[in-house]
Structure 1
Amino acid sequence: MKIIVTDEVAQEGLALLAQDPRVEINIKLGLKKEELLAIIGNYDAIITRSGTTVDKNLLDAGTKLRLIARAGVGIDNVDVDYASSRGVIVVNAPFGNTNSAAEHAMALLLSFCRNVPRANGSLKSGEWKRAPFTGYELKGKTAGVIGLGKVGGRVATRLKAFECEVLACDPYIAVKRAHDLGVKLVSHDEIYRNCDIITVHTPLTDETRNMIGERELAMMKDGVIIVNAARGGIIEEEALLKYLESGKITGAAIDVFSVEPPKTDVLQKLIAHERVIVTPHLGANTFEAQVNVAVDVSKEILNYLDDLPLENAVNIPRFDLALMDQMRPFLNLMSVMSDFVIQLVDANIDTVTFSYAGNIAHYDCTPLSVCGLSSILNRLVEQDVNMVNATLIADQMGITVEENKSTQSPSFSNMITLTIEGKGEKRTIAGTLFEGSPRIVKLRDYQVDFAPDEHMLSLTYEDRPGMIGKIGTIMGAHDINIASMNLGRREKRGEAMVILSLDSAVPPFVVEEVRKATDATFIKPIHMPGVKCSRGCGCGI
């Protein structure tokens, strides 16, 4: 394999490749785009960091390219979708900087608690002052960790070493992982109400964007300290500034911002605030992390050469085409079902069970299960999940994956059932194909029949006259058109389930209005940005 390296990559990683006789490495740094386009056709793989844009033009010119290795987490500089269409595998190194990120969060927290930046500046200016820099101990404090993944778990361990009581919130982590870390899993609101220190370690998604805003900040204890070394945009910065200025929040330590470099008036005021310490997104910026990511991508290239699974592939891997042809009609169904049901789950996931009934049970259903698992995990974790790494990631999260098969299906010639369980909560969805399109035929123990749409609303309430009218009236008042409605119930005047297909998204305040009007026991908006799989989960759709 002939490999070109176009950005600075730690030599420790490249040494692994240089030792392999199958590999020829050419290091060519600082190439102009035209120069790279002229020679890329000679290479089987490219190793980059953020300095090289791997776009359509480069991929078209790289007629021999089989693999793109990004020595780092972000893949914004790689056109992953087009690479997938060309059959080029993209790998990255999502875990090489986890320790660096965790240590930086602790460095920020300790620097704030002991006034290190201000005391350093004072002493260097020729002053000898001590009283203004009286600090806080971590011992005995209650610390809340939001997000208990690779980084959050490490931060929790370190906080415990400082003799903090650690509470954690992560609805997508199995209870066993929290027990293993020695922390207590609680709700978001319990974190906000009870913690002296709150540190955030979640990805930035639609679910977590502005997750900590006016409501959450107002709920916090007076004197709380907030740390964000995860992603800018998780905390509403304007609201954070407001509560810093009011004195409710003692201080904040921030490494990431919603706009980088930070240029807005709010961010400039936040950075300048005397009780805020800041760094310019340095969480992964250590010598060790750079070595780790170089080693990780080099190992992935060697795995590729040895036909071993790629743990960190972010797009479509290679599969037996004959098997894919057998499963292809059901892959979109599985992806849609998984994407739908995971949005109904609030608890920590312990078990995911895939059940196949009917003719499909005669086949090897493993590709379907892994496709479904990858769709579920793509909603839960920051890294891109595909059919190669889904099982590994589930195992790391403490999630048990089960598969059941029966060639007998009483209702349909083929039916797939997906059950997600965790912390006493259980969600079940079943679907089939109708003229090649996905149909949901069961939710929980309700018989339903609907085709998923981009915008939906699911709710359950006590069945009584006038409820459908109330829902329709509220939607009409807010100019939200109901495309279709599916009602399921077990008995008259019992619990009813309604699934609405809508022409537009339902804002949170409308969801709350519907909940109050119907006394809903459960209500959740569902967003399916593409009913067919378009996330590059590796299912081949």
Structure 2
Amino acid sequence: MTKPKVLISDKMDPNAARIFEERGCDVDVITGETPEELKARIGEYDGLAIRSSTTVTQEILDAATNLKVIGRAGIGVDNVDIPYASGKGVVVMNTPFGNSITTAEHAIAMMMALARQIPQADARTQKGEWPKKDFMGIEVTGKTLGLIGAGNIGSIVASRALGLKMKVIAFDPFLTEERAVEIGVEKVDLDTLLARADFITLHTPLTDETRNILSAENLAKTKQGVRIVNCARGGLIDEAALAEKLESGHVAGAALDVFQTEPAKESPLFGLPNFICTPHLGASTTEAQVNVALQVAEQMADYLVNGGVTNALNMPSLSAEEAPKLRPYMGLAENLGSLVGQLAHGNLTRISIEREGAAAGLSGKPIEGAVLAGLMRQYSDTVNMVNAPYLAKERGLDIRSIRHEKEGVYNTLLRVTVGTEDGDRSVAGTLFGAEAPRLVEIFGVRIEAELEGHMLYIVNEDAPGFIGRIGSLLGDNGINIGTFHLGRRTSGGEAVLLLSVDQAIPADVVKKACALQGVKVVKPLSF
């Protein structure tokens, strides 16, 4: 049997190549190639192991006629066109936990550097000055650290901060009271965190929910003299607004390892005396780079040789026998999880996944993983159908899987219900023709729709003229409607509109839709 062939196109620990060879793969290490050179070469390989230097575009994937798996040694996969890879049947893997400790330690180091103004003092001392009176630092002992995001990295930061005798509070939609007690933090809402924290560190991915989470408005809510650290993702902070707050003294100091645009050649923050930065060094330790290199080699070799799937971003853990029957259910399950995740408000405390009729006879774990992956993708850019249950458990989310073998209205049905502070929220879907996923119920309202692409969810008063008003608004703003789905509880009561559009709906159009007569809720959706 021909051995699978793997290309390592970025510099990584040499032991990765050894692991590939020991597990039955042929491997070439060729780094530093141009996109054109990689495009010309990639067709002969079954696997591609990368870090951040190689960008896997549509052109590369079109040329990769034998490629079966891409492995990213690290967390971020912004340099891989995952949707296009999925369409090509290429599995994309990452190593989401290999550099957690390293990133957490960097955040703590940045916090200490802010507290004692170490970079600024170092620079002046090395110039031959002795500016002892110019640098009056603060102790971190007894101060309040606010974590925005309390997942894997955030919880490690919390443990280190508690060791420094800090008080730790955390905002995370998936953090339960039980998990908060377990990791020793106080769970709070975002406004409370902003008002109380002496230091704020961010540990969340960049999603539509978290983009500019420290906006000008939210920065204004922070405590006078707060210090801010971001070693997570650029784009979580409005950098111009942060510069203004640093100049005014409202924010005493800020330390960034990541920027909205990287490499960061210019920024309104550069040159400010109370600002320090590093060039995306969060994962840059010898130990972390060895860990992620070895992990990606093990995962890719296992897939290429044995068919095992670990930390795949676009494929569930399925056996060859289960895959054909489960695949349409996986798509339905992920979309239902994504829908309820985008629409449910308040902190999620529990989730119930019900399989009814024909679905009751299927393996529950892959369906559960798909639902959780869809649900949690709003808050984590490393979640997949394999690690979603782990991430949910880590946050203390109560997960229940229920089977109803008796058929109801539909031959087969999946129902996803989440418990929030505002009560339960439930959505349900079925398969038409055993393979076409359809939404059939949303928050108690019967409505049939395909969940795909860009969509708009609206709750409004059931009254004449509304459809014309929303249609005119979208048309006037150059937004084409693909499909239109309506449902209502009672005549003249509350109605639900779910429509698909050809492009993402701008924020100003959403705001105009909210202002239409009779509108109660407007929410853009993406699948």
- TM-score range (shorter-chain normalised) is 0.7 to 0.9
Mean CA deviation greater in 425-434 or 38-47: 38-47
The alpha carbon displacement at 1:315 in A equals 2.8
Paired AA for residue 418 in structure 2? I
Structure 1: unaligned runs, 5 residues or longer: 531-541
Partner of 1:430: helix, strand, or coil?
strand
8 Å contact 1:105–1:228 — kept in the other structure?
Answer: yes
Give 2:290's aligned residue: 291
Q: Is the 8 A contact 1:310 1:389 kept in 2?
A: no
SS in 1 for 2:147: strand
Q: CA deviation at 1:193?
A: 1.4
Cα 1:282–1:232 change in 2 (3 A) is same
Q: Are the aligned partners of 1:87 and 1:316 in contact in 2 as well (CA < 8 Å)? A: no
Q: 1:221-370 maps to which residues of 2 (within 5 A)?
A: 221-264=223-266, 267=267, 269-304=268-303, 307=306, 309-316=308-315, 319-320=318-319, 323-364=322-363, 366-370=365-369
CA deviations over 1:296-324 (Å, ceiling 9, x no partner): 11221353367474332223367456644
Structure 1 residue 136, shift from structure 2 partner: 0.7
Partner residue of 1:457?
A: 457
2:10 is aligned to 7
Whole-Å Cα distance in 2 between the matches of residues 289 and 341 of structure 1? Answer: 35
1:132 CA displacement: 0.8
Does the aligned pair in 1 maintain the 2:353–2:401 contact within 8 Å?
A: yes
Aligned with 1:128 (options 130, 141, 160): 130
Structure 2 CA distance for aligned equivalents of residues 300 and 165 of structure 1:
39
In structure 1, distance between residues paired with 2:203 and 2:146: 11
* Mean Cα deviation higher: 322-331 or 241-250: 322-331
| Contact 2:445–2:496 under 8 Å retained in 1 | no
1:59/1:414 Cα in 2 relative to 1: closer, same or farther (>3 Å)? closer
- The one-letter amino acid of 2:233's match is R
Q: How far apart, in 2, do the equivalents of 1:286 and 1:71 lie?
A: 13
Equivalent of 1:186 in 167, 170, 188? 188
- CA gap of 1:452–1:287, structure 2 versus 1, over 3 A, is closer
Distance 2:304 2:484 in 1: 51
Change over 3 Å in CA distance of 1:242–1:371 after alignment to 2:
same
C-alpha deviation, 1:144, in angstroms:
0.8
- Describe the superposition over 1:237-278 as per-residue Cα deviations: whole angstroms up to 9, x where unpaired: 1111122222211121111111223345xx1x3111111111
Q: 1:501 aligns with which of 499, 502, 507?
A: 499
Contact 1:452 1:501 (8 Å CA) reproduced: no
Pair 1:117 & 2:119 matched: yes
Instruction: Using the aligned pairs only, state the percent identity.
Output: 34
What's 2:418 paired with? 420
Measured at CA, do residues 29 and 323 of structure 1 come closer, stay the same or move farther in structure 2, by a change above 3 Å?
closer
Q: Distance in 2 between matches of 1:80 and 1:510?
A: 28
For structure 1, which segment, 417-426 or 192-201, has the greater mean C-alpha deviation from structure 2 after superposition?
417-426
Residue deviations 1:152-190 (CA, integer Å, cap 9, x gap):
111122222222211100102333322211101111111
Cα pair distance change 1:38/1:316, threshold 3 Å: same
Within 2, Cα distance between the matches of 1:177 and 1:22?
A: 42
Aligned match of 1:537: none
DSSP 3-state at the match of 1:525: strand
- Which whole-Å CA distance do the structure 1 matches of 2:288 and 2:7 have between them? 22
Deviates more, 1:229-238 or 1:327-336: 327-336
Which AA in structure 1 matches 2:13?
A
Q: TM-score, normalised by structure 1?
A: 0.83
CA distance, structure 2, for counterparts of residue 407 and residue 107 of structure 1: 55
SS of residue in 2 equivalent to 1:457: strand
Q: 1:8 to 1:437 in 2, by over 3 A?
A: closer
- Aligned residue in 2 for 1:389: 387
Deviation at 1:365, TM superposition (A): 5.0
Partner of 2:489: 489
The amino acid that maps onto 1:7 is: D
Evaluate the alpha carbon distance shift between residue 361 and residue 424 of structure 1 in structure 2; reply closer, same or farther with a 3 A threshold.
Answer: same
Letter of the 1:421 counterpart: G
1:462-489 CA-partner distances (Å, limit 9, x unpaired): x7xx977789769867857897574533
CA shift, 1:441, in A, is 3.5
2:295 match: secondary structure? helix
Name the structure 2 match of 1:406: 404
Distance 2:393 2:441 in 1: 28
Cα distance in structure 1, aligned partners of 2:132 and 2:258: 30
Between stretches 511-520 and 251-260, larger displacement belongs to 511-520
Matching of residues 74-223 of structure 1 within 5 Å: 74-223=76-225
Amino acid at match of 2:381: E
Residue 81 (structure 1) shift: 4.2
Question: CA offset at residue 280 of structure 1?
Answer: 1.6
Structure 1 residues 468 and 108 mapped into 2: Cα distance closer, same or farther (>3 Å)? farther
Could you say which residue in structure 1 is the equivalent of 2:525?
527
The Cα offsets for residues 51-94 of structure 1, whole Å up to 9 and x where unpaired, read as 44445665566555443332223334444445444444332222
Distance 1:57 1:444, change over 3 A: closer
Alpha-carbon distance, 1:510 to partner: 5.5
Quote the Cα distance in structure 2 between the aligned partners of 1:222 and 1:200.
18
CA deviation after TM superposition for structure 1 residue 287, in Å: 1.6
Which residue identity is paired with 1:311?
T
> Shift of residue 358 of structure 1?
2.5
- The SS at the match of 2:346 is coil
Kept in 2: contact 1:89–1:317 (CA 8 A): no
Q: Tell me, which stretches of 5 or more residues in structure 2 are unaligned?
A: none
Match of 1:431 among 409, 429, 450: 429
TM-aligned CA distance change 1:239 to 1:487, over 3 Å: same
- The answer to whether the 8 A contact 2:6-2:49 is kept is yes
1:152–1:308: structure 2 CA closer, same or farther, 3 Å change rule? farther
Determine if contact 1:175/1:348 at 8 Å carries over to the other structure.
no
In 1, Cα distance between equivalents of 2:140 and 2:465: 55
Assess if the C-alpha contact under 8 Å between 2:368 and 2:401 holds in 1. Answer: yes
Check 1:274–1:298 CA distance in 2 against 1; reply closer, same or farther (3 A cut): same
1:517-539: CA deviations, max 9, x gaps? 7695xx351312x4xxxxxxxxx
Mapped partners of 1:229, 1:277: distance in 2: 12
Shift of the 429–115 alpha-carbon distance from structure 1 to 2, 3 Å rule, reads same
Q: Is the 8 A contact 2:102 2:288 kept in 1?
A: yes
